[in-house]
Amino acid sequence: QKEVEQNSGPLSVPEGAIASLNCTYSDRVSQSFFWYRQYSGKSPELIMSIYSNGDKEDGRFTAQLNKASQYVSLLIRDSQPSDSATYLCAVNTGGFKTIFGAGTRLFVKA
């Protein structure tokens, strides 16, 4: 079992819709959770961090964390074509160890 799992996609949504990206992790002691966006040929860019159970909103982005279910998600409201990218889920299990999922490719159709 991979430590951080994401559906590779592609996830295709129409412009203006809500995109829902999901991630599960295996290490129950994980404390910090991150979502990175990576455009093709570019480096990952941090877009959301979440550290406690519940929802955290930042603009059109909402991160959701459920530690009991070992599940973290990212919702993108009013999706735009510019949101088309690969989204990486990352989990810090303590100290230097941050594990990245393989990413979910998102396509937003105009």
Burial of 99 (0-12, 13-18, 19+ CB in 10 A): middle
Residue choice 12, 32, 53, 80 for contact with other proteins (CB under 8 A): 32
Q: What angle do CA 91, 95, 38 make, to 5 degrees?
A: 35
Q: Does the protein bind other proteins through residue 42 (CB under 8 A)? A: yes
Residues that contact other proteins, how many (by CB under 8 A): 23
Residue with tokens 């159970």: 53
For other proteins, which is the closer residue by CB, 47 or 76?
Answer: 47
Q: Does the protein bind other proteins through residue 43 (CB under 8 A)? A: yes
Residues that bind other proteins (CB under 8 A): 4, 8, 31-32, 34, 42-46, 49, 51, 88, 90, 92, 95-98, 100-103
